[in-house]
Amino acid sequence: MSKYSKQFKLKVVKEFLKLGGLKRVAHLFEINHSQVRNWVLAYQSHGPNGLTPHYKHQSPQFKVQVLQYRAEHQLSARPAAAHFRIASMNTILQWQKLYNEGGITALQRKPKGGSPLI
């Protein structure tokens, strides 16, 4: 569950689009200006639905697609996250690190929990 409601995010975005100023809007709503930037990018890419990120588990193929799109369009992680409706740009940065270290197999989900007892 998101810390902020979709209605709150939309209010923040509309205030920014009306008068501008990331830091001004952030101060007005007592949030980080980086968060305002994320929401504005998501809104500009997908409209109001962009303010509700997808919380599904992505396949390794999808993760590679995101990384390839980012490289082809020379995007930083923030606009790529907005484009693909990924909640945090840090997710993409983590995928990039894993992919650079171990290729597509490093992007597979790891089972949760401790190691099985034998």
Q: What is the pLDDT of residues 6-55, one digit of tens each?
A: 999 999 999 999 988 999 999 999 999 988 998 998 899 888 988 886 66
In a domain, 112, yes or no: no
CB atoms within 10 A of CB 92: 21
pTM: 0.64
Q: What percent of the chain has pLDDT over 70?
A: 88
In a domain, 117, yes or no: no
In a domain, 13, yes or no: yes
**pLDDT at position 118 over 90:** no
- Quote the number of domains for the chain: 2
**What is the pLDDT, as a whole number, of residue 86?**
86
Contact assessment for residue 25 and residue 39, using Cβ atoms and an 8 Å cutoff = no
In a domain, 40, yes or no: yes
In a domain, 23, yes or no: yes
**What is the pLDDT, as a whole number, of residue 16?**
94
In a domain, 114, yes or no: no
- Same domain as 37, residue 68: no
Question: CA quadruple 11, 5, 91, 55: dihedral positive or negative?
Answer: negative
Instruction: Show the domain range for 71.
Output: 60-107
- Same domain as 71, residue 91: yes
**What is the pLDDT, as a whole number, of residue 26?**
93
Kindly write down the DSSP assignment for every residue of 50-96, as one continuous string. GGS---SPPPHHHHHHHHHHHHHTT--HHHHHHHHT-S-HHHHHHHH
